[in-house]
């Protein structure tokens, strides 16, 4: 086991289908009954409903998402996939071609993170060759850090009618994008047995294991959890909704796992000798090739041990994050703004809206500017795709505080490199007395049920500017 220190801030069962039909009424099916009073009442007697029971093998309407056999049996397509793309990466080519064909898209945009960008031209060639309606394929080359960077606005400006986004899950609701979007996770095959073997040799039997990872390894997370349970390592896949079970983002992760004792028994209550394990050691087992996303989980769960398995190097590392040092640095930045708020002197806040894809939420921007105004301060909006100290230094003489609505981790990881405080939306709420500085620093930017500084708060999920 390698020990690393934080770099720090310096299908379903088939069933019988029942269809109910109502026969049309004939003239003689209506009987008029005259009561003793002078009033006349008309009642209608309907014939008994006919129930038609279909054989369970009877074909029903075809699933529009089902891949047609013409694609599954296309030898040329299968050859193109097997010879030009890595076998361990699932680019979901058949699903994508089927989506392009059914939507009759003519101009497709492809967006990939830098680690997958080398396959972009190959994907473009495949779609041009095997999609009859496609006339153009555009590759978006701007940096893509995560799902928040989905660039439907650029795709629209290029005249694209479909955007295929690779490597991330759906954070921005597809109903809020300006062009049709298809998300491809690009799941990666992992030697799950080796990963579990490494963990079992590192922690004692009976340890409670929280299995998590990035979206590329979601199948491996499920398989690892199942295998751990079979080996008497009770495991659970936590979830920070609306993310998938086990999925972790750099800004959003499951929290308070140390208090979670809701584990199944070791042998699923198969006999009277069953033992329910509670109050034992707990660890986070993370599947990913880097630690950026894991750091989010470590910030949310500072007392839990974190073990990361790298599927490429096949190594298990014991990861450490200096949470208290990070909190101290961020608290000092918040305090520097809080003190200026208490002296009743009007300050100028520069509010940065991230324009890298959909990083910046206009609804949060509107809400923050109203909050600043309510405390008697002035603000202006700065649009930036990426935030660098050298860029902000050009304007810092007229700015007292920066607030960035892009990525909370920018403030956490790099805030101390700026000359003026650069607060996240959460930190601004704390500085202005609208929220408490929590004991566990929140990684909840895309979690439902969190504060007004988050994307899925009721006031912000529509991503619209408020009047």
Q: What are the pLDDT digits (tens) for 19-38? A: 334 444 344 444 343 444 44
Domain limit, last residue, from 165, 188, 211:
188
Residue 163, pLDDT above cutoff 50: yes
Tell me which H or E stretch contains 367.
helix 362-374
Structural domain for 290, as ranges: 192-269+278-319
Decide if 292 contacts 407 (C-beta within 8 A): no
Instruction: Report the CATH number that the domain containing residue 327 is assigned in CATH.
Output: 3.40.50.11860
Both 156 and 233 in one domain: the answer is no
Q: What is the pLDDT of residues 67-113, one digit of tens each?
A: 888 898 999 999 999 999 999 999 999 999 999 999 999 999 999 99
Both 162 and 214 in one domain: the answer is no
Both 236 and 338 in one domain: the answer is no
Both 175 and 74 in one domain: the answer is yes
Residue 160, pLDDT above cutoff 70: yes
Q: Which of 39-43, 67-71, 167-171, 322-326 has the least mean pLDDT?
A: 39-43
Q: Which of 49-63, 249-263, 350-364 has the least mean pLDDT?
A: 49-63
* Separation between Cα atoms, residue 403 and residue 418, nearest integer Å: 12
Tell me which H or E stretch contains 351.
strand 348-354
Residue 284, pLDDT above cutoff 70: yes
Both 306 and 338 in one domain: the answer is no
Q: What is the pLDDT of residues 208-220, one digit of tens each?
A: 999 999 999 999 9
Q: Tokens standing for 230?
A: 């079979």
* Separation between Cα atoms, residue 333 and residue 331, nearest integer Å: 5
Decide if 237 contacts 246 (C-beta within 8 A): yes
Residue 459, pLDDT above cutoff 80: yes
Residue 165, pLDDT above cutoff 60: yes
- Is 328 part of any domain? yes
* Separation between Cα atoms, residue 400 and residue 347, nearest integer Å: 6
| DSSP codes joined into one string, 3-68 | EE-------PPP---EEEE-PPPPGGGEEEE--SSS--EEEEPPPPPEEEEPPTTS--SPPTTSPP
Over range 345-357, report the average pLDDT.
94
- Is 53 part of any domain? no
pLDDT at 172: 85
Both 307 and 337 in one domain: the answer is no
Neighbour tally for 379: CB within 10 Å: 19
Both 130 and 206 in one domain: the answer is no
Instruction: Report the CATH number that the domain containing residue 87 is assigned in CATH.
Output: 3.40.50.11840
pLDDT at 125: 98
- Is 168 part of any domain? yes
Both 212 and 312 in one domain: the answer is yes
Both 170 and 100 in one domain: the answer is yes
Both 330 and 421 in one domain: the answer is yes
- Is 33 part of any domain? no
Instruction: Report the CATH number that the domain containing residue 265 is assigned in CATH.
Output: 3.40.50.11850
At CA 246, angle to CA 244 and CA 247, rounded to 5? 60
- Is 249 part of any domain? yes
pLDDT at 58: 53
pLDDT at 9: 45
Q: What's the mean pLDDT when you consider all of the chain?
A: 86
- Is 295 part of any domain? yes
pLDDT at 16: 38
Q: Which of 55-59, 91-95, 143-147, 295-299 has the least mean pLDDT?
A: 55-59
Residue 264, pLDDT above cutoff 70: no
Both 313 and 332 in one domain: the answer is no
- Is 215 part of any domain? yes
Q: pLDDT-derived band of residue 173, with 50, 70 and 90 as boundaries?
A: confident
Residue 255, pLDDT above cutoff 90: yes
Both 169 and 79 in one domain: the answer is yes
The count of structural domains within the chain is 3
- Is 413 part of any domain? yes
| DSSP codes joined into one string, 388-409 | -HHHHHTTGGG-SEEEEES-HH
pLDDT at 342: 64
């Amino acid at each position: 086991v390698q020990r690393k220190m934080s770099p720090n801030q310096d299908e379903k069962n088939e069933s019988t289908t029942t269809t109910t039909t109502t026969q049309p009424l004939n003239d003689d099916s209506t009987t008029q009954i005259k009561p003793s009073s002078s009033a006349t009442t008309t009642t209608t007697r309907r014939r008994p409903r006919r129930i038609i029971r279909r054989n369970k093998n009877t074909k029903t309407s075809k699933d529009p998402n089902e891949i047609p056999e013409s694609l599954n049996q296309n030898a040329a397509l299968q050859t193109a996939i097997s010879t030009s793309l890595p076998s361990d990466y699932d680019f979901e080519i058949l699903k994508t071609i089927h989506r392009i064909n059914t939507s009759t898209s003519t101009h497709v945009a492809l967006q990939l993170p830098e680690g997958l960008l080398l396959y972009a031209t190959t994907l473009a060639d495949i779609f041009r060759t095997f999609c009859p309606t496609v006339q153009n394929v555009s590759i978006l080359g701007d940096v893509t850090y995560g799902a928040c960077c989905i660039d439907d606005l650029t795709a629209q400006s290029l005249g694209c009618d479909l955007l295929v986004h690779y490597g991330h899950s759906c954070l921005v609701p597809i109903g809020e994008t300006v062009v049709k979007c298809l998300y491809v996770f690009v799941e990666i095959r992992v030697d799950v047995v080796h990963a579990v073997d490494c963990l079992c040799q590192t922690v004692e039997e009976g340890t409670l294991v929280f299995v998590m990872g990035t979206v590329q390894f979601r199948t491996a997370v499920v398989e690892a959890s199942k295998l751990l349970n079979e080996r008497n390592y009770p495991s659970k896949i936590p979830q920070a909704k609306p993310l998938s079970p086990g999925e972790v983002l750099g800004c959003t992760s499951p929290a308070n796992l140390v208090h979670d004792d809701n584990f199944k028994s070791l042998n699923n209550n198969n006999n009277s000798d069953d033992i329910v394990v509670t109050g034992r050691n707990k660890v986070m087992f993370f599947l990913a090739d880097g630690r950026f996303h894991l750091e989010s989980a470590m910030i949310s769960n500072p007392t839990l041990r974190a073990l990361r398995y790298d599927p490429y190097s096949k190594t298990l590392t014991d990861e450490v994050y200096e949470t208290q040092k990070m909190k101290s640095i961020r608290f000092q930045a918040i305090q520097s703004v809080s003190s200026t708020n208490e002296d009743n002197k009007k300050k100028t806040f520069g509010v940065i809206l991230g324009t890298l894809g959909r990083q910046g939420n206009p609804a949060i921007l509107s809400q923050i500017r109203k909050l600043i105004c309510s405390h008697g301060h002035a603000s202006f909006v700065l649009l930036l795709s990426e935030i660098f100290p050298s860029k902000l230094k050009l304007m810092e003489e007229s700015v007292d505080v920066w607030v960035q609505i892009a990525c909370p981790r920018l403030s956490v990881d790099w805030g101390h490199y700026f000359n003026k405080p650069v607060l996240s939306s959460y930190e601004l709420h704390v500085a202005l007395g609208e929220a408490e500085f929590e004991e566990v620093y929140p990684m909840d930017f895309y979690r439902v049920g969190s504060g007004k500084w988050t994307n899925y708060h009721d006031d912000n999920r529509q991503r619209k500017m408020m009047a």
